[in-house]
Amino acid sequence: MNFWGLWNLSFGFFGVQIAYALQSANISRIFSTLGADPHSLSFFWILPPLMGMIVQPLVGIYSDRTWTRWGRRIPYLFLGAAVAVAVMCLLPNAGSLQLDNTTKLWGVMSASMLFGLLMLMLLDTSINMAMQPFKMLVGDMVNERQKKLAYSLQSFLCNAGSIVGFIFPYLFTCIGIKNTAPDGVVPNSVIYSFYIGALILILCVIYTTIKVREWEPATYKAYNEEPATGAQDDEPSPGIFKLLCNAPSAFWTIGVVQFFCWAAFLFMWTYTNGTVAANAFDTPVEGGKLITKSLQYQEAGNWVGILYAVQALGSVVWAMMIPRIKDTKMGYSLSLVLGGIGFVSLYFIHDPYVLFLSFILIGCAWAATLAYPFTLLTNALTGKGHMGTYLGLFNCTICLPQIVAAVLGSAILAILPSASNGTPNEPMMLVLAGIMLFLGAFAVRLVKAQG
């Protein structure tokens, strides 16, 4: 393919990643605003990886068997994006809806919070449905020689979309949109960010559906030198258990590294907002909790978006350095060590601008987490068939560690001593994230790298 053919394969990922960035940067902020306790905040993060672990393998399995006039992957991509757009317009309004919040479910969850939780489940289901086909399109239609470039372009669009999504609330605040709201209501700066993100998402996906023409079964078979699975095949597709038994060793060894990396990033998404609000913005405290309706807390929420954008920029720069590191395992390990240093430093830094250095280092680990696993895995899968199914199953190495971290996060936070201001010790959770990346760097030794 020429450059623009590769570009078009992944361009819709830009819009999908804006949606994902808005979710990552604002979910803790939204649910804290709705009244979630910091000790239970990690439980709200169980849904995104749980839905990903369910949805992405199903998308892989069924899209492997799908052949339509619009392609095999694109129908799932478009359906997922359409649902995501609708949900993005509803989720940030959870606190503004006329709901009965006097009776709390299980004594802790208001109607607004329950509605928000339902919307979060639908949002992550649809984002996962829209995201996975892009990885599969590259696996289907790009040869081994060009895969590195194709996934690099996908990584660039991923980080570019992240930057846009992360800075939206900050930009809207700068142009005068209100960044505070009554108690329990999400500010307009966040609500409008989700609206604009939804618009960009659907436009990008429409562009991809117009520009990309997937191959028909015969062409797919010719270029991949393997049977094209689908309704036209006489032989039944092997079950998931058999495919896992026949998976290359890279599938499992990279999965070990993935466990530590994605658990660390789950802690980042969950506890960065509280850490920055307490350490760098002197957010007032009442009853052992940060006052979420305060100006300081909402300013910290905007600043977290800026920090995540800095992380994405650091990731782009480091992604350009990765191909220059000839020893693949050394590059993978070094990147994770740098990210671990960045996480640990968050405990000690109280200046909002010095935090940029921490997130640049975290961006190095993020770049490695995006670049190395899928490149190594898709090369190991070449000629084995069932590319979509394997990639969907491999997504469990992303989702499962996040579920484990979300389940254990509240228990770990509860046993930590309180921070100096009397609030839960969220900064220490980021130190733990750094330790996990150090362990991931050590686990890279288990991977048999190809070059």
Check residue 99 and give its pLDDT: 53
C-alpha dist (Å) from residue 265 to 63, 258, 296, 363, 401: 29, 11, 24, 11, 10
Range 202-223 average pLDDT? 82
Is the Cβ–Cβ distance between 267 and 315 less than 8 Å? no
Residues 375-390, mean pLDDT to the nearest whole number: 67
Choosing among 1.10.340.30, 1.20.1250.20, 3.20.20.70, 1.10.287.110, the CATH entry for 3-227+240-446 is: 1.20.1250.20
Per-residue confidence at 46, pLDDT binned at 50, 70, 90? confident
Tell which residue, 48, 238, 208, 210, has the closest CA to residue 136: 208
pLDDT tens per residue across span 145-180: 787 778 778 878 888 898 999 999 999 999 999 888
Instruction: Tell me which of 343 and 385 has the higher pLDDT.
Output: 343
- The reported pTM is 0.75
pLDDT of residue 364: 94
Name the token pair of 146: 């060009």
What's the confidence (pLDDT) of residue 234?
A: 43
- Among 429, 406, 412, smallest CA distance to 46 is for 406
Q: Quick one: tokens of 337?
A: 């060590």
Average pLDDT over residues 265-277: 92
pLDDT, residue 224, reads 66
Instruction: Please report the pLDDT score of residue 435 as a whole number.
Output: 97
Compute the average pLDDT of residues 383-399: 71
Q: Given this model, what pLDDT does residue 449 score?
A: 57
Closest CA to 81 of 109, 122, 117, 45: 122
Q: Give the bridge partners for 418, in sequence order.
A: none
DSSP collapsed to 3 states, 81-95: HHHHHHHHCCHHHCC
Cα–Cα distance for residue pair 81/72, rounded to 1 Å: 16
Q: Which amino acid is at 221?
A: K
pLDDT value at residue 397:
84
Domain ranges of the chain: 3-227+240-446
Least confident of 68-82, 166-180, 296-310, 380-394: 380-394
Residue 99 near residue 115, CB atoms below 8 Å: yes
**Residue bearing tokens 């002197």:** 282
Q: Report residue 184's pLDDT band, with 50, 70 and 90 as the boundaries.
A: confident
Q: What is the pLDDT of residue 237?
A: 56
Could you give the percent of the chain with pLDDT greater than 70?
88
Task: Say if residue 114 is exposed, middle or buried (CB neighbours under 10 Å; 0-12, 13-18, 19+).
Answer: middle
Please count the residues of the chain.
Answer: 451
Look at residue 382 in the predicted model and tell me its pLDDT: 59
Distances in Å between the Cα of 310 and the Cα atoms of 270, 304, 361, 364 are: 18, 10, 10, 11
CB atoms inside a 10 Å sphere around CB 86: 15
The residues that bridge with 205 in the sheet, in sequence order, are: none
Cβ atoms < 10 Å from Cβ of 100: 8
- The Cα 96–Cα 119 span in angstroms is 14
**Given the structure tokens 């895969």, which residue do they identify?**
147
Instruction: Reduce the DSSP state of residue 169 to 3 states and report it.
Output: helix
Q: What's the average model confidence in pLDDT over 19-42?
A: 81
Give pLDDT, residue 450: 52
Q: Higher-confidence residue: 406 or 260?
A: 260
What's the chain's average pLDDT?
83
Structural Rg of the chain based on CA atoms? 21
* Single-letter residue type at 291: I
| Least confident span in 109-113, 224-228, 295-299, 359-363 | 224-228
CB of 12 closer than 8 Å to CB of 134? yes
The reported pLDDT for the residue numbered 451 is 42
pLDDT for 109: 59
Look at residue 86 and tell me whether its pLDDT is greater than 70. yes
| pLDDT at position 103 | 47
Three-state DSSP class for residue 73: coil
Closest CA to 1 of 195, 163, 140: 140
pLDDT (tens digit, 9 = 90+) per residue, 348-377? 999 999 999 999 999 999 989 987 887 777
Average pLDDT over residues 275-296: 88
- For residue 108, pLDDT over 80 is answered with no
Place of tokens 């015969």: 218
| Packed helices 74-88 and 111-141: angle between N→C axes, nearest 10 degrees | 160
